[in-house]
């Protein structure tokens, strides 16, 4: 998968306004990798469910009970699996296994078998010489040409420039090909010299009439050498195909896409770590010696703070637990106490020249700290898992445009360090916390760092900003909307999300694309993303009733009352039949009672309209009048018994009014109708957990997470259930999101 | 519910209140056996706080300060942060370090304040 993700970086590469040819590499890679990727998609089909479920589900999926508008596309039989999209890819990828075997060879990190080159050379040459392949539409010519390039990698033979018809590539296309082929080549030829790789890439670019140097500042190898070092190292250590390597590559490519230019990366590294680096520390100290005069004027306040933290550091240091001793928290506190960090203006800063006292001793201390850092760095380099962590951490810090350290330090300073330190010191001193607590504090600090890392993304989504997937294989697809609808109908929610994201990237004003994307996210148990997508749908189509209802439901789930009320009322106001009931004076300041009354009027007006009862049920949830809500949903279910989302709404309402046993029955109905309904699986888990049946809840959470590992909620709940079920042994698997282990341990 | 700016926490505490009457809830009451007072601020800690008492001795959730003496621990949060902690999105110790959660009273009593004592809301 890493390879696929590497080359399908798509979104960042797509040239606005150009056709799908802007993404030839993505298409190629999709084509080549399709067979293996496809296999994974299919695992998401409800194979483990009773065989009857498919029969129940598919006809239903086209029935009128689908939330939202109906689709008129001919129905694709589940068995055939051959949407146009996939068929195309299969046909393009006639030599399907090529890239994969090339990849395997690279992974093997030994030179290709010597008997290979001659045969392979012939194949490569043949591909180039076949007249038919170099005719026809530019897209196909390009495709076969790129094939031959990939093929040449198998034998490690030099790739020869060749004459091609005019392809009409735009500047953007060219840049895209140049960038991606450079990266790809470095993975194909991991065991070859830089010169060889450059030769290969230049030959490719030359044939395509792309100026290899136009865009790169200086030769590529220099820019990547360091990273390649890591890559080779990871190759040497990891066995072929190991997941960690893939992960790292993915990680790397993600950050590369984000950053674009590795120089920025290097630059930021200097910015963030340079100040801490022992080398610059050393220089700083020297300049401090020069300006000894200034030290006399040292800030008394910071001296006091140093004294405080020094006491705290001593208290902490008395704890002999090695884990705690090594913790970054303690290091931070020690650093404060040594005056490397000072508190100034209620902000913690790096000490510059103000640190007073015996500079010689301090220099020694700082020097030691410096070598610690160096050791740690070295350690990280040797141990690949550490390196991974480091890379992750660093990468995410990058995304925040500021150093996590600084942020944390700022936060820390807000705590009124003095009081806090004193209190903490006292309590530790009195042994109140016990030995294990020290551990958990240290762990908590580490977790805190991780949390910081994730916080940016969360900030975005909580602000209603839609967060796109980094690597989307559907970018460049000719008709992602149709693909997304098909996937949605088949219950492949996560795939549908990707396809629909590609659609709305292509057509940002497509209300239907956004709407279905929102529904897919809601069914996938991700309300934040659902809200973000639905808000875009509403922008594009402000009066769409389904969008308004979906927004009302999602905001209710997120406990956001006033927002929920606003959208539910908007549903009424824009309804062709009930709009007359809406009083215009209400829209400014909505009161729940008024809205509820109006809806009750609507329900009396047409008791046979299931939708009114549904909205009314949601409203009663908002006011926590659960009995009334249950009644409304039951009424609606009599009118729409096949609506799986309605069964789930009933179940959730029952669960929230502490009728978990009934809720489970309702969820079961929903899942009979739609086996891949992630939200219902997750709700099942919640209901078991709320009844204290933690072992059972774990199985359902794990089940939901296998279908959508991106649902953060699910992971958090799983973690809680694991601790409650005394299965701390599985916490690590949970934290590393290792579904293989969890699934094996907790089959459903 | 009369106003539109109801706290998110209120929904969770309402669920908690009912939950403590179930078998699973009673097990939690038995396990904790402490009284927590929770001060929830809509925007900023210390301002416009709404006070709740979760009594894990009697198994009750009430609005207002604890009347039966001194609570074992008093927590202050912003509305949003309380929800994050109760739903397992934020570790209480981290919240404490960040200053997102303030604690008065016994720290050992406070360490029993963990996400698993809160029932989780289901989603429609």
pLDDT for residue A151: 62
Shared-domain flag, residues A683 and A545 = yes
Q: Contacts of residue A565 in chain B, CB cutoff 8 Å?
A: 4
pLDDT for residue A513: 96
Shared-domain flag, residues A646 and A695 = yes
What is residue A276's DSSP assignment? T
Which residue, chain included where needed, has tokens 């699934």?
Answer: A743
> Does residue A12 surpass a pLDDT of 50?
no
Residues with Cβ within 8 Å of A414's Cβ and at least 6 positions away in sequence, in order, are A346, B99
The last residue of one of the domains, among A518, A540, A562, is A540
Distance CA A105, CA A112 (A): 7
pLDDT for residue B107: 85
CA of B117 vs chain A CAs: smallest distance (Å): 10
User: Based on the structure, what is the number of domains in chain A?
Assistant: 3
What is residue B60's DSSP assignment? E
Span A501-522, mean pLDDT?
A: 95
> Does residue A243 surpass a pLDDT of 80?
no
pLDDT for residue A716: 94
Span A212-232, mean pLDDT?
A: 50
pLDDT for residue A426: 57
The last residue of one of the domains, among A540, A567, A598, is A540
pLDDT for residue A176: 65
Give me the percent of chain A exceeding a pLDDT of 70: 39
Instruction: Kindly determine whether residue B4 and residue A592, on different chains, have CB atoms separated by under 8 Å.
Output: yes
Q: Domain containing A501 — which CATH number?
A: 1.25.40.10
> Does residue A199 surpass a pLDDT of 60?
yes
Give me the percent of chain A exceeding a pLDDT of 90: 32
Shared-domain flag, residues A493 and A577 = no
User: Is B57 an interface residue toward A (CB < 8 Å)?
Assistant: no
Q: Contacts of residue B83 in chain A, CB cutoff 8 Å?
A: 559
Shared-domain flag, residues A505 and A573 = no
The mean of the pLDDT values for chain A is 67
> Does residue A1 surpass a pLDDT of 80?
no
Structural domain includes residue A378: no
Q: Contacts of residue B93 in chain A, CB cutoff 8 Å?
A: 440-441, 444
> Does residue A434 surpass a pLDDT of 70?
no
User: Is B46 an interface residue toward A (CB < 8 Å)?
Assistant: no
Task: Please answer whether residues A135 and A165 qualify as being in contact, where contact means their C-beta atoms are separated by less than 8 angstroms.
Answer: yes
pLDDT band at A321, cuts 50/70/90? low
In degrees, to the nearest 5, what angle opens at C-alpha A695 toward C-alphas A722 and A458? 40
> Does residue A491 surpass a pLDDT of 70?
yes
Q: How many CB atoms within 10 Å of residue B70? A: 11
- What is the bridge-based pairing of β-strands B101-105 and B50-55? unpaired
List beta partners, residue A205. Answer: none
Of residues A665 and A191, the one with the higher pLDDT is A665
> Does residue B10 surpass a pLDDT of 60?
yes
Shared-domain flag, residues A505 and A626 = no
pLDDT for residue A248: 56
Q: How many CB atoms within 10 Å of residue A393? A: 15
Structural domain includes residue A620: yes
Structural domain includes residue A334: no
Token pair belonging to A117: 């080159």
Instruction: Kindly determine whether residue A440 and residue B107, on different chains, have CB atoms separated by under 8 Å.
Output: no
Structural domain includes residue A255: no
Shared-domain flag, residues A636 and A685 = yes
Instruction: Search chain B and give the residue with CA nearest A447.
Output: B94
Structural domain includes residue A374: no
Q: Contacts of residue A564 in chain B, CB cutoff 8 Å?
A: none
Span B5-26, mean pLDDT?
A: 91
User: Is A549 an interface residue toward B (CB < 8 Å)?
Assistant: no
> Does residue A477 surpass a pLDDT of 50?
yes
The mean of the pLDDT values for chain B is 91
Q: Contacts of residue B4 in chain A, CB cutoff 8 Å?
A: 561-562, 565, 589-592
pLDDT for residue A583: 76
Instruction: Kindly determine whether residue B24 and residue A691, on different chains, have CB atoms separated by under 8 Å.
Output: yes
pLDDT band at A274, cuts 50/70/90? very low
CA of A384 vs chain B CAs: smallest distance (Å): 28
- Candidates B24, B99, B120; nearest CB to A415: B99
* Main-chain phi, psi angles of A274, to 5 degrees: -60, -45
Residue B79's nearest CA partner among B6, B5, B7, B4 is B7
Q: What is chain A's Cα-based Rg?
A: 30
> All domains of chain B, ordered by start, with CATH?
8-105 (3.30.1050.10)
Task: Please answer whether residues A667 and A683 qualify as being in contact, where contact means their C-beta atoms are separated by less than 8 angstroms.
Answer: yes
Shared-domain flag, residues A595 and A689 = yes
Structural domain includes residue A629: yes
Distance CA A24, CA A21 (A): 5
Structural domain includes residue A152: yes
pLDDT for residue A208: 72
Task: Please answer whether residues A302 and A314 qualify as being in contact, where contact means their C-beta atoms are separated by less than 8 angstroms.
Answer: no
Q: Contacts of residue A717 in chain B, CB cutoff 8 Å?
A: 88, 120
Which residue, chain included where needed, has tokens 């490719």?
Answer: A204
Give me the percent of chain B exceeding a pLDDT of 70: 96
The last residue of one of the domains, among A196, A211, A226, is A211
Inter-helix orientation angle A328-338/A404-414, to 10°: 70
> Does residue A158 surpass a pLDDT of 50?
yes
Q: Contacts of residue A690 in chain B, CB cutoff 8 Å?
A: 19, 22, 24, 119-120
Highest mean pLDDT among A366-370, A469-473, A478-482, A594-598: A478-482
Of residues A651 and A383, the one with the higher pLDDT is A651
* Main-chain phi, psi angles of A135, to 5 degrees: -105, -175
List beta partners, residue B37. Answer: B53, B74
Helix, strand, or coil (residue B10): helix
pLDDT for residue A305: 58
Of residues A444 and A551, the one with the higher pLDDT is A551
pLDDT digits (tens, 9 = 90+) for A84-101: 444 444 444 444 444 555
Distance CA A695, CA A744 (A): 14
Which residue, chain included where needed, has tokens 């094939």?
Answer: A147
Shared-domain flag, residues A593 and A665 = yes
Instruction: Kindly determine whether residue A716 and residue B121, on different chains, have CB atoms separated by under 8 Å.
Output: no
Shared-domain flag, residues A569 and A696 = yes
- Candidates B6, B99, B120; nearest CB to A717: B120
What is the enclosing helix (H) or strand (E) of B39? strand B35-41
The boundaries of the domain holding residue A716 are 444-463+541-745
pLDDT for residue A593: 84
pLDDT digits (tens, 9 = 90+) for A41-56: 333 333 333 334 333 4
pLDDT digits (tens, 9 = 90+) for A643-673: 999 999 999 999 999 999 999 999 999 999 9
Shared-domain flag, residues A576 and A458 = yes
Distance CA A123, CA A118 (A): 9
Shared-domain flag, residues A545 and A686 = yes
Structural domain includes residue A737: yes
Span B102-116, mean pLDDT?
A: 91
pLDDT band at A17, cuts 50/70/90? very low
pLDDT for residue A290: 53
pLDDT for residue A582: 83
Interface test with B, best of A431, A443, A658 (most B CBs within 10 A): A658
pLDDT for residue A92: 44
Of residues A271 and A468, the one with the higher pLDDT is A468
> Does residue A537 surpass a pLDDT of 90?
yes
pLDDT digits (tens, 9 = 90+) for B49-86: 999 999 999 999 999 999 988 999 999 999 999 999 99
Shared-domain flag, residues A594 and A707 = yes
Distance CA A657, CA B108 (A): 32
Token pair belonging to A160: 């020869």
């Amino acid at each position: 998968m890493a390879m696929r993700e590497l080359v399908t970086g798509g979104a960042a590469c797509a040239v606005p306004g150009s056709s799908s040819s802007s993404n030839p590499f993505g298409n190629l890679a999709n084509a080549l990798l399709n067979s293996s990727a496809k296999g994974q998609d299919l695992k998401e089909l409800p194979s483990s469910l009773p065989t009857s479920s498919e029969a129940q589900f598919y006809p239903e999926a086209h029935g009128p009970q689908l939330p939202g508008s109906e689709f008129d596309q001919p129905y694709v039989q589940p068995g055939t699996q051959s949407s146009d999209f996939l068929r195309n890819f299969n046909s393009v990828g006639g030599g399907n296994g090529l890239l994969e075997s090339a990849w395997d060879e690279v992974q093997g990190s030994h030179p290709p078998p010597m008997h290979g080159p001659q045969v392979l050379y012939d194949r490569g040459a043949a591909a180039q010489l076949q007249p038919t392949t170099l005719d026809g539409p530019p897209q196909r010519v390009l495709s076969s040409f790129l094939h031959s390039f990939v093929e040449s990698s198998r034998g490690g033979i030099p790739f020869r420039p060749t004459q091609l018809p005019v392809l009409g590539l735009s500047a953007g296309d060219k840049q895209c090909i140049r960038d991606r082929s450079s990266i790809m080549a470095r993975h194909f030829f991991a065991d070859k010299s830089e010169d060889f790789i450059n030769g290969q890439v230049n030959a490719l670019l030359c044939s395509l009439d792309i100026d290899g140097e136009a865009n790169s500042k200086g030769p590529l190898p220099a820019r990547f050498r360091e990273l390649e070092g890591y890559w080779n190292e990871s190759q040497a250590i990891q066995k072929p195909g190991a997941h960690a390597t893939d992960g790292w590559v993915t990680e790397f490519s993600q950050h590369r896409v984000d950053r674009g230019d590795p120089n920025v990366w290097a630059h930021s590294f200097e910015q963030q770590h340079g100040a801490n680096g022992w080398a610059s520390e050393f220089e700083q100290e020297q300049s401090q010696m020069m300006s000894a005069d200034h030290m006399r004027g040292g800030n008394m306040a910071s001296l006091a703070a140093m004294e405080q933290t020094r006491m705290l550091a001593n208290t902490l240091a008395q704890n002999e637990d090695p884990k705690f001793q090594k913790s970054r928290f303690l290091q931070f506190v020690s650093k404060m106490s040594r005056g490397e960090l000072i508190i100034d203006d209620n902000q913690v800063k790096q000490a510059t020249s103000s640190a007073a006292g015996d500079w010689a001793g301090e220099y020694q201390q700082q020097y030691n700290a410096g070598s610690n850092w160096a050791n740690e760095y070295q350690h990280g380099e040797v141990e690949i898992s550490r390196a991974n962590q480091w890379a992750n951490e660093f990468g995410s810090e990058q995304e925040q445009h500021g150093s996590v350290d600084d942020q944390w330090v700022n936060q820390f300073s807000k705590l009124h360090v003095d009081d806090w330190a004193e209190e903490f010191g006292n309590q530790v001193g009195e042994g109140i916390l016990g030995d294990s607590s020290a551990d958990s504090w240290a762990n908590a600090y580490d977790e805190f760092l991780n949390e910081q890392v994730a916080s940016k993304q969360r900030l975005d989504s909580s602000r209603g900003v839609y967060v796109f997937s980094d690597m989307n294989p559907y970018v460049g697809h000719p008709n992602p909307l149709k693909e997304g609808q098909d996937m949605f109908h088949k219950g492949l929610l996560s795939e549908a999300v990707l396809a629909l994201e590609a659609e709305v990237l292509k057509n940002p004003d497509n209300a239907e694309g956004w709407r279905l994307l929102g529904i897919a996210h809601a069914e996938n148990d991700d309300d934040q993303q659902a809200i973000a997508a639905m808000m875009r749908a509403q922008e594009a189509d402000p009066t769409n009733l389904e969008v308004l209802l979906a927004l009302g439901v999602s905001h209710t789930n997120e406990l956001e009352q006033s927002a929920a009320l606003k959208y539910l009322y908007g549903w009424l106001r824009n309804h062709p039949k009930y709009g007359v009931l809406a009083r215009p004076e209400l829209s400014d300041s909505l009161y729940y009672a008024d809205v509820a009354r109006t809806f009750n009027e609507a329900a009396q007006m047409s008791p046979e309209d299931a939708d009114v009862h549904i909205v009314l049920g949601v409203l009663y949830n908002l006011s926590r009048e659960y009995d009334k809500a249950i009644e409304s949903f039951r009424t609606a279910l009599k009118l729409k018994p096949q609506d799986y989302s309605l069964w789930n709404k009933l179940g959730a309402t029952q669960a929230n009014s502490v009728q978990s046993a009934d809720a489970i029955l309702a969820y079961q109905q929903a899942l009979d109708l739609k086996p891949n309904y992630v939200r219902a699986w997750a709700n099942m888990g919640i209901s078991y957990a709320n009844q204290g049946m933690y072992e059972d809840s774990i199985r359902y959470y794990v089940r939901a997470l296998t279908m959508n590992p991106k649902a953060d909620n699910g992971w958090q709940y799983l973690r809680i259930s694991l601790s409650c079920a005394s299965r701390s042994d599985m916490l690590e698997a949970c934290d590393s999101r290792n579904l293989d282990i969890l699934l094996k341990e907790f089959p459903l | 519910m009369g106003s539109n700016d109801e706290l998110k926490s209120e929904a969770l505490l309402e669920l908690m209140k009912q939950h403590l009457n179930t078998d699973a809830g009673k097990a939690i009451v038995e396990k904790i056996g402490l009284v927590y007072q929770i001060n929830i601020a809509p925007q900023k800690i210390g301002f416009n706080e709404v006070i709740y008492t979760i009594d894990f001795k009697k198994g009750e959730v009430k609005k207002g300060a604890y009347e039966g003496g001194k609570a074992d621990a008093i927590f202050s949060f912003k509305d949003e942060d309380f929800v994050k902690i109760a739903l397992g999105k934020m570790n209480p110790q981290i919240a404490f370090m960040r200053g997102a959660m303030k604690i008065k009273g016994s720290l050992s009593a406070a360490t029993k304040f963990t996400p698993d004592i809160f029932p989780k809301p289901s989603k429609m």
